[in-house]
Amino acid sequence: MLIAEKLKAIRSAEGLSQSQFCKIMEIPISTLKKLEGGYNEPGWNTLTKLTQHPLFEKYTMWLMTGKTAPQAGQIAPPLSPDGQEKIKSRHSGRKIG
């Protein structure tokens, strides 16, 4: 998953519009649109702000490595209490075998 997709997944999991996310992160909406569109990569300041913000720090490990450590409070967006109900698998309810 690209960083652009990860940023959008985090924002969506938290139920935030682009403008709400920008207000929290104190970045211009044009910057977020470029990041989510894959036109720019986030700089050090943006990544630091995101990973140290209390609302988003639970995604730090996943954002940087693609891995999670739930026992350490490091999750991926679909596991977020705020986003869990919004993300549905196409495979839910299907029998295997």
Q: Kindly state whether residue 96 falls inside one of the protein's structural domains.
A: no
Predicted TM-score (pTM) of this structure = 0.77
Q: What would the two tokens of residue 10 be?
A: 């985090």
Beta carbons of 14 and 83 less than 8 angstroms apart: yes
Q: Kindly state whether residue 86 falls inside one of the protein's structural domains.
A: no
CA distances from 46 to 2, 22, 53, 70, 93 (A): 16, 11, 11, 24, 39
pLDDT value at position 78?
A: 80
Q: Kindly state whether residue 55 falls inside one of the protein's structural domains.
A: yes
Per-residue pLDDT band for 1 (boundaries 50, 70, 90) equals confident
Q: How many domains does the chain have?
A: 1
Q: Kindly state whether residue 7 falls inside one of the protein's structural domains.
A: yes
Q: What is the mean pLDDT of residues 4-20?
A: 96
Q: Kindly state whether residue 97 falls inside one of the protein's structural domains.
A: no
Residue-wise pLDDT for 26-65, tens only, equals 999 999 999 999 999 999 999 999 999 999 999 999 999 9
* Alpha-helical segments (H) within the chain: 3-13, 18-25, 29-36, 44-52, 60-65
Element (H, E) at 15: none
Residue-wise pLDDT for 51-61, tens only, equals 999 999 999 99
Domain carrying residue 45: 3-79
- Return the SS3 of 2: coil
**Residue 30 sits in a domain of what CATH number?**
1.10.260.40
